[in-house]
Structure 1
């Protein structure tokens, strides 16, 4: 199920003490985006995200999809602002292709990483961290093993996510509503979004305890949990509330570096098609099956969207 070296790490994780507060690291994918949205321009969205992090004295990581904006001077300046503010920058490919797609070859996908690095690598704060697009790590042995070899030889770490969210789905709903009516009351979407983040956080914490016998640092798109969010309108508007909610839950926000130092993030689950949240991948590798609450972790926000429809949105 795990290779020998990673199996030994897995045992070490199980033996690690769990008597500490849950921690979470904040990461963002797909930025910086120059796409137009209601209410905020691209620079305003970027500034709002950075301001919220600054208010909470939180150090985060932005995984750059270069063609979303960083290939243009104005977009590259937005990415540079993250590094200059003390945040980390990582690699999320040039154009966000799907490694599992039949028309995306292993070589083409690897070239996307190298091309992105040429653009973002010179910026302050750049780390040799790579996050797989769609959190898909290869659906054939050639792609899976080829990517593991490539990342190792290029000096990249797999920037796993443990606390995956469907913020993008609720962002789509937010933009849809505001494009129809710029003055619309979006308080129900905000409430649904914060409830969604809370539900995912608690569910992944419970799963980490089930799998590891302890809290992990969660990386939010876990042991410290690593949280995945996106560089989009919903977070530009309400990231401050997300961070405040974590603090009200008693969670401590840590740096991505601190989270990735947890040995759980060096595991390599041995699955035919690894990916998604590291915790979900571990659960499937270990044969956990359809554990209690798994449906809400893989529904892409269907529960929240259905609830909003019942409210007329």
Structure 2
């Protein structure tokens, strides 16, 4: 071998050794953040039932079920059995809608019969409404070797005093239920109302004009997904500020046309942010969910905010939560959230 070739070989070996040494001394790449989220859907089989004919919402329902199948993400749906009836009679096609959820791999929980407001009806009537809300649900699940085990408060109103909360928790435990909290709260129902009204002229003078177009519906879908992304960011920040880590979040949406048309985009948006979809069981294993719900006010806030209220966090702690834009409120014919 010529001397120049030897020198080149030695130089190459030296450079390789230096590169290997630098790589060994470089700090290890940090693992990606642990972002986990459980998805839940309220007001099954459909928000607008029983006020509308079943046939009018079946297309939307089928799109939602197809999107659930395609997403391959665990989901728990919460049933209002009153929506299964029309004029006091059980509607088989609405029960079949619940079977569609089960066939798609979803789990079903109890959301009371009538979507009762605990703060309005009182504990005794509320407990009756819970039991009335499992007359179809329990046999549906038993036919598949399951039992109803999750309960969610309508309006997220969970009691105006500690004793009511304690008594309700005891009642639910006696009937095999656990409360399913919500840590990603939002106003998807306002966006959904706006979405339904995009084909209607507004009766108010300042909104008169041609009915809204498909382009506006597309804008609603696009901005709604962005709004939900900001909600995920906000509640992740809240969990870090309150708990010091990223809590496995529990996300609430509703069974409505808007979510039927954006379900896949919502899942994709969350995954792009690094979220891994998990079951409600896994989320609830986090010890934070054993914290007491100290909130006894009239509203239904996120459990993160309930815990923060229990710790007497200042008003500044709650600042910055994303809100529904005014143009969406106008479409929904609402003055505020």
Shorter-chain TM-score bucket reads 0.7 to 0.9
Q: Which of 196, 206, 226 is the aligned partner of 1:175? A: 196
Q: Distance in 2 between matches of 1:292 and 1:140?
A: 24
Distance 1:120 1:182, change over 3 A: farther
How far did 1:263 drift?
2.3
Deviations 1:265-297 (A, max 9, x none): 232223434952110101111111223553536
User: What corresponds to 1:166 in structure 2?
Assistant: 187
Structure 1 unaligned regions, length at least 5: 1-17, 218-224
User: How has the CA–CA distance of structure 1 residues 227 and 264 changed in structure 2, closer, same or farther, with 3 Å as cutoff?
Assistant: same
* 8 A contact 1:83–1:123 mirrored in 2: no
What number of residue pairs does the alignment pair up? 280
Task: State the partner residue of 1:284.
Answer: 309
Partners of 1:86 and 1:246 in 2: CA distance: 20
Q: What is residue 60 of structure 1 aligned with on the other side?
A: 75
1:210 corresponds to: 241
Instruction: Using the TM superposition, give the Cα deviation of residue 182 of structure 1 relative to its aligned residue in structure 2, in angstroms.
Output: 7.4
Distance 1:229 1:78 in 2: 18
1:131 aligns with 152
**If the length of structure 1 is used for normalisation, what is the TM-score?**
0.81
What SS does structure 1 have at the residue aligned with 2:39? strand
Deviation at 1:153, TM superposition (A): 2.1
Is 1:260 aligned to residue 281 of structure 2?
Answer: no
Given that 2:236 and 2:246 are in contact with CA atoms closer than 8 Å, whether structure 1 keeps it comes out as: yes
Partner of 1:184: 214
Q: Does the aligned pair in 1 maintain the 2:194–2:329 contact within 8 Å?
A: no
How many angstroms does 1:94 deviate by? 0.6
Structure 1 stretches of 4+ with a deviation exceeding 6 A read none
More displaced stretch, 232-241 vs 246-255: 246-255
Matches within 5 A, 1:26-105: 26-33=39-46, 34=49, 41-69=56-84, 71-101=90-120, 104-105=121-122
RMSD of aligned Cα (Å): 2.6
Separation in structure 1 between the aligned mates of residue 35 and residue 296 of structure 2, nearest angstrom: 31
Conserved? CA contact 2:61–2:260, under 8 Å: yes
Deviations 1:103-156 (CA, angstroms, capped at 9, x unpaired): x12110001100111221122355311000100101134432321221222221
Give 2:10's aligned residue.
none
1:221-273 deviation line (CA, Å, top 9, x unaligned)? xxxx1100000011011111111111111111112222222222232223434
Cα separation, partners in 2 of 1:94 and 1:44, compared to 1, 3 Å: same
Q: Is the 8 A contact 1:36 1:42 kept in 2?
A: no
CA distance 1:115–1:36, change in 2 (3 Å): closer
1:23 aligns with 2:36: yes
Cα distance in 1, alignment partners of residues 50 and 325 from structure 2: 25
Runs of at least 5 residues in structure 2 that lack an aligned partner in the other structure:
1-30, 202-210, 333-337
Q: Indicate the residue corresponding to 2:169 in structure 1.
A: 148
Corresponding position: 1:296 with 2:315: no
CA shift in 2, pair 1:36/1:153, >3 Å: closer
Could you say which structure has the larger radius of gyration? 2
Q: TM-score by structure 2 length?
A: 0.76
Contact preservation (8 Å) 2:42, 2:77:
yes
Tell me the SS of whatever aligns to 1:296. coil
Provide closer, same or farther for how the CA distance between residues 303 and 212 of structure 1 changes in structure 2, counting only shifts above 3 A. Answer: farther
- Of 289, 305, 308, 2:328 maps to 305
Given the superposition, is the C-alpha separation of residues 141 and 113 from structure 1 closer, same or farther in structure 2, using an over 3 Å criterion? same
Q: Name the CA shift for 1:277/1:110 in 2 (closer, same or farther; >3 Å).
A: same
Aligned to 1:248: 272
Q: Relative to structure 1, is the Cα distance of residues 308 and 206 closer, same or farther in structure 2, using a 3 angstrom cutoff?
A: farther
Shift, 1:86, TM fit: 1.7
